[in-house]
Copies of this chain bind each other. A is one copy, B any other.
Amino acid sequence: MRLIALVLGVATTLVSTIAGADNLSVAEVGSFHVGGRAVSLTGLPTRDVVFTAGSQPIKVDPNGDFEVEQMYVQYIKLAQPKARYPLLLWHGGGLTGVTWETKPDGKPGWQLFFLRAGHDVYVSDAVERGRASWARYPEIFSGEPLFRTKKQAWEDFRIGAVGSYKLSAADRVALPGQLFPTEAFDQFFKQGVPRWASTDTQIQAAYHQLVQKVCPCVIIVHSQGGNFGFNAALTAPDKVKGLIAIEPSGAPKPEAAGGGKLKAVPHLVVWGDYIAQSPLWTRFVPASQAYAAALRAEGGVADWWELPKMGVTGNGHMLMMDRNSDQIAQMIQKWMGEKGLMR
């Protein structure tokens, strides 16, 4: 029996070396584009464009056949997932799926946290962001791209109070107790991408197609993604098995929850700190508050977490990047278990 114990010991060591506590056994890594449409531009004039001062102009012909308004999705599937359904992570405005990856300070983000917790994880870029690509404007997209400034992000994301942003990192004063890694704020800003104010319909359409392609699933949405996620659940209540909205910037009208069609789809809304100090978020919160109340009135589950009231303080809008991001992820993981979303 000592020999058997020895052999078992060797085998155990082998197992833990190959698939140790920190290692993931991954069945597949992959990606795809979904949604969108073919479009042809014709009859537009060609133009001469000078790309480098002093060089010959290049003739630019905007006409031709294109694919537009698709979104990009990347997945990592585990050999032995512990979650019942894949977990989809939908980012907010002016950002991409990078929101969920390694944090700006180099520490692991929620993608890796939820992989380690046993979920197949799908990280996506919405229409016009990142690897989803964007289309010529004003011919295809209307309006023009908006570029978020550092001041907007610093203040709107409640890292510092309104008026506290300065060009020099050393001069910026964060809100008291703020847990965003402010030393990595400029690094965070490298993740930003332009956005349009005219593409909500196209973004939502591609999300609907994504849900039809890969769900049943659980979805975590952030900020601008909130409204898209709420609508995805309303449109496919048989496919969306749980929705976690992190600081949603909007929500459907309460009437949309009528008929109790989301009774079987647990919702959770999570808010960080400093809301009362932010005119922007004070204005944004009521929409999802009213929507969550309507879900409950219809017999559904719509939990409402204001983290400071639960003893978790110091989180701004990008709480998945904050120093206590694992703590919040763990709370959400526990909620998913309680809602029967783990095996």
Residues of A within 8 A of B (CB): 3-4, 7-8, 10-12, 14-15, 17-20, 22-33, 36, 38, 40, 49-53, 58, 60, 62-67, 70, 72, 74, 76, 79-80, 96-98, 101-102, 106, 108, 111-112, 115, 125, 130-131, 133-136, 142-147, 149-152, 167, 186-187, 189-194, 196-198
Q: Is the CB of A150 within 8 A of B66?
A: yes
How many subunits of this chain does the assembly comprise? 2
Q: Which residues of B contact A18 (CB under 8 A)?
A: 15, 18-19, 25, 79-80
Interface of A is mostly: mixed
A47 to B75 CA separation, bound complex (whole angstroms): 40
Cα separation A69 to B270 with both chains bound (whole Å): 34
B27 and A192 contact, CB distance less than 8 A? no
A115 (CB) vs chain B CBs: closest residue:
B29
Return chain B residues, CB-CB under 8 Å to A40: 167
A320 to chain B, nearest CB (A): 14
User: In the complex, are the beta carbons of B22 and A19 less than 8 A apart?
Assistant: no
Asked, given contacts A106-B32, A167-B40, whether A189 binds B79 with beta carbons under 8 Å apart, the answer is no
CA distance A124 to B14 in the complex (A): 33
Ordered nearest first, which 5 A-B pairs have the shortest CB separation?
A64-B149, A11-B11, A51-B143, A33-B190, A51-B198
- Chain B nearest CB from A145 CB (Å) reads 8
- Determine the residue in chain B with the shortest Cβ distance to A65: B150
Cα-based distance from A142 to B50 in the complex (angstroms): 8
A94 smallest CB distance to B (angstroms) = 10
Report yes or no: B60 in contact with A144, Cβ–Cβ below 8 A: yes
In the assembled complex, the Cα of A80 lies from the Cα of B142 at a distance in Å of 50
| Inter-subunit contact B130/A50 (CB<8 Å) | no
Residue of B with least CB distance to A108: B30
Separation in Å of the A149 CB from the closest CB of chain B? 3
Do residues B29 and A67 form an inter-chain contact, with CB atoms below 8 A? no
What are the residues of chain B within 8 A of A11 when measuring CB–CB?
A: 7-8, 10-12, 14-15
Q: A133–B148 Cα gap in the complex (Å)? A: 12
Which B residues touch A15, using CB under 8 A? 11, 14-15, 18
Chain B residue nearest to A34 in the complex (CB): B190
Chain B positions within 8 Å of A192 at CB level? 66-67, 133
List B contacts of A63 (CB < 8 A): 149
Complex Cα distance, B60 from A66, in Å, reads: 28
Write out the residue numbers on chain B whose beta carbons fall within 8 Å of the beta carbon of A8.
Answer: 7, 11
Contact B31 A190 (CB under 8 A): no
In contact, A194 and B27 (Cβ under 8 angstroms): no
Across the interface, which residues of B come within 8 angstroms of A98, CB to CB? 31, 33, 72, 131
- Chain B residues contacting A28 (CB-CB under 8 Å) are 108, 112
Q: Tell me how far the C-beta of A138 lies from the nearest C-beta in chain B, rounded to whole angstroms.
A: 10
Known A-B contacts A32-B102, A131-B130; A51 and B197 likewise in contact (beta carbons under 8 Å): yes
Q: State the CA gap A90–B52 with chains docked (Å).
A: 24
Query: With A and B bound together, what is the CA distance between A26 and B8 in angstroms?
Result: 24
B52 engages A142 (CB within 8 Å): yes
In the complex, the answer to whether B30 meets A112 with C-beta atoms within 8 Å is yes
Q: Identify which of B20, B24, B60 contacts A29 (C-beta below 8 A).
A: B24
Distance of A26 Cα from B19 Cα, bound (Å): 8
Report the Cα distance A152→B267, complex, angstroms. 47
Q: In the complex where A3-B4, A49-B144, A189-B67 touch, is A29 in contact with B131 (Cβ < 8 A)?
A: no
